[in-house]
Amino acid sequence: MATVEKYLEASDWAAWIPTLFEPRHFLTLTSRDYVYHEVLWHRYGFLLRKVNKELFGNHWFRSGEGLSWVMGIEPQLRGVLHIHAVWDQNRVPYDLIHSVWNRISGYAWVEPVTAACGVADYVSKYSVKGGMVTTYLARHKQALLIQGSWGS
């Protein structure tokens, strides 16, 4: 797995994201209380593992399957971090996403994507303001993880 830091402007992220995969679902994942980036990241990873297992079976990672996604973390007005994510699957288990996320963190909102460019703008523009944008492409022999972090 390769990791590369990318320092891009929001408009560059917005132009690049739709070239990776066709966005199918948009998620907003909140937290009830303030948590650090690392904790929210861990919770997102837990949700991804549950969803990938549901969609692709127990050996989804070993077989190179799984969701491809773009995820941005940003603070809400109240200061609590939350996630905006875009997933590439036509079918996602809405009930599982809501039950898992509501149990471990807070509120989950999932909706189908209607405009790919608009979603890329939304995920990236807030995340470059002291946030983080992370991309994972699952369907390659060597999964590529490209992460750009900004902060103080």
The pLDDT tens digits for 45-68 are: 999 999 999 999 998 888 778 898
Give bridge partners of residue 80 from the DSSP assignment: none
What pLDDT score was predicted for residue 98? 97
Q: Does residue 51 contact residue 60 with C-beta atoms inside 8 Å?
A: no
Q: What is the pTM for the complete model shown?
A: 0.79
> Domain containing 76: what range?
2-149
Quote the CA–CA distance of 118 and 138 in Å, as a whole number.
23
Which one of 15-24, 94-103, 139-148 scores highest in mean pLDDT? 94-103
Name every residue whose Cβ is closer than 8 Å to that of residue 45 and which is 6 or more positions away in sequence.
none
Per-residue b or e along 125-146, where b marks 16 or more CB atoms closer than 10 Å to that residue's CB? bbbbeebbbbbbbbeeeeeeeb
Question: SS3 letters for 78-114?
Answer: CCCEEEEEEECCCCCCHHHHHHHHHHHCCCEEEEECC
Question: What pLDDT digit, counting tens, does each position of 80-133 carry?
Answer: 889 988 898 889 999 999 999 999 999 999 998 876 556 666 666 655 555 667
- 3-state secondary structure (DSSP) of residue 58: coil
Look up the CATH number of the domain holding residue 9: 3.40.1310
The CA distance from 53 to 39, in Å, is: 21
What lies within 8 Å, CB to CB, of 37 at 6+ separation is: 73, 81, 132
Cα–Cα distance measured from residue 22 to residue 7, given in angstroms and rounded to the nearest whole number = 23
Q: How many domains is the chain built from?
A: 1
28, pLDDT greater than 80: yes
Going by pLDDT thresholds of 50, 70 and 90, the confidence category of residue 151 is very low
